[in-house]
Amino acid sequence: MAENQNKISWPAIGNDKAIEFLSRSLDNNKIAQTYVFAGPNDLGKSTISLAFARNILISDEKNHVRDSLGQADFTSINSDLHILEPLEDKKSISIEQVREFIKTLSLSSFLNSYKIGIIKEADRMSEGAKNALLKTLEEPKDKVIIILLVADEENLPKTILSRSQILFFQSVPTAVIYDYLLENYKINRSLAKDLASLSLGRPLKAIRLLEHEDAYQEYTEKTKKVLSLFDVSINEKMKVLDGVFNAKGFSRSAVEEASSIIGIVEGLLRDLLLSSLGQNDRLQHLFLNKEIKELVASMNGSDDLMIKIISGLKAIEESRLYLQSNVSPRLVLEKLIINL
């Protein structure tokens, strides 16, 4: 295996404090048995957890299997790394999934080294699954490490948090994302600025939209339609909703699509406020700069605009609570857009 693949390495953008802490833990051989990586999606929690797992296995001298020439062989690292995540269209991670995950981690290490388990979206574990995991954390097995990735650590029981090393992942400055895109993707400055602003400090979102042109085009078109909701009749709003929300019934994909639209509405409300304050260079949706200015200008005074923004923000908070309470995503969105 090439030498540079065997070295300890980290992702190149953002989360410097978390990476520095994990690096010190490796250098001082002070590795916790349970970690919680907390923060919004697209900040790199999953990428850094995988890098940390790989770096642990590489750093452990007992993990190095030597070939006939005495060179370290890292080809079997993935055999001691296990990942658990929600099944497609399932609301939660079940107790059966967690029990199977724990059983796998309890087996002997392939390389007589660490066994590492990563649970993605761990805040979506069922209550039974959380309790099953807690029993394992209460009686930890030597050289077994579990990393929980969550959007909000408060969705985990305090009994789990008290047994974990918690690392908080923060938004990456827009300027850092902008420079990273220019340096690594060689794109024009205008597109880099648009993507960096659009990401709201989440570098993986910017990269994903850049690498998937269809997704970027779909997002821009959907956002333009959502913006039109602020200035049309209720009947027209329902027609617009038909054009941006295609999911049927209640499913994981429907909830995710509804959550995405709620996020777009929230971003546009923020943009309207910034534009009204003359801060158009700070908009999230720079590609809608002209349309947002025109919408703000069409409002009958700043009081009307502020009422609309406050009403919309309250409706967004309610909408997210409704989704968590298993209300139909379609009905949640209908109620939201009526308040715009």
User: How many CA atoms, within 13 angstroms, populate the side-chain half-sphere of residue 314?
Assistant: 8
Predicted pLDDT of residue 305: 83
What are the two backbone dihedrals, phi and then psi, of residue 73, each rounded to the nearest 5 degrees?
-115, 115
pLDDT band per the 50, 70, 90 thresholds, residue 60: confident
Predicted pLDDT of residue 72: 47
Predicted pLDDT of residue 4: 43
Picking from 278, 275, 331, 282, the residue whose alpha carbon sits closest to that of residue 308 is 275
DSSP code per residue over 15-49: -HHHHHHHHHHHHTT---SEEEEES-TTSSHHHHH
Predicted pLDDT of residue 69: 44
Q: Could you tell me which residue, 107 or 64, shows the higher pLDDT?
A: 107
Predicted pLDDT of residue 112: 72
User: How many CA atoms, within 13 angstroms, populate the side-chain half-sphere of residue 279?
Assistant: 9
Cα separation, 50 vs 83, in Å, equals 10
DSSP code per residue over 275-312: HHTT-GGG-S-GGGHHHHHHHHHHSSSHHHHHHHHHHH
Percent of the chain predicted with pLDDT > 90: 62
Cα separation, 239 vs 314, in Å, equals 23
Predicted pLDDT of residue 261: 95
Question: Which strands sit side by side in the sheet containing 81-84, from one edge to the other?
Answer: 81-84, 115-119, 144-150, 34-38, 165-168
Predicted pLDDT of residue 107: 85
Q: Could you tell me which residue, 234 or 57, shows the higher pLDDT?
A: 234
pLDDT in tens, 144-153: 999 999 999 9
Predicted pLDDT of residue 77: 57
Q: Give the number of residues written for the chain.
A: 340
Residues 6+ apart with CB under 8 A from 289: 280, 283
Percent of the chain predicted with pLDDT > 70: 90
Q: Could you tell me which residue, 249 or 223, shows the higher pLDDT?
A: 223
Whether the pTM exceeds 0.85: the reply is no
> In the chain, where does DSSP find H-type helix?
16-27, 45-59, 95-106, 127-138, 158-161, 174-185, 189-198, 203-211, 213-228, 234-244, 252-276, 289-298, 302-324, 329-338
Predicted pLDDT of residue 301: 62
Predicted pLDDT of residue 339: 86
Residues 6+ apart with CB under 8 A from 245: 257, 258, 261, 329, 330, 333
Chain centroid to Cα 228, Å, comes to 27
pLDDT band per the 50, 70, 90 thresholds, residue 120: very high
Predicted pLDDT of residue 67: 46
Task: Give me the residue spans of the domains in the chain.
Answer: 3-168, 173-211, 217-338
The average confidence (pLDDT) of the chain is 87
CATH topology assigned to domain 3-168: Rossmann fold (3.40.50)
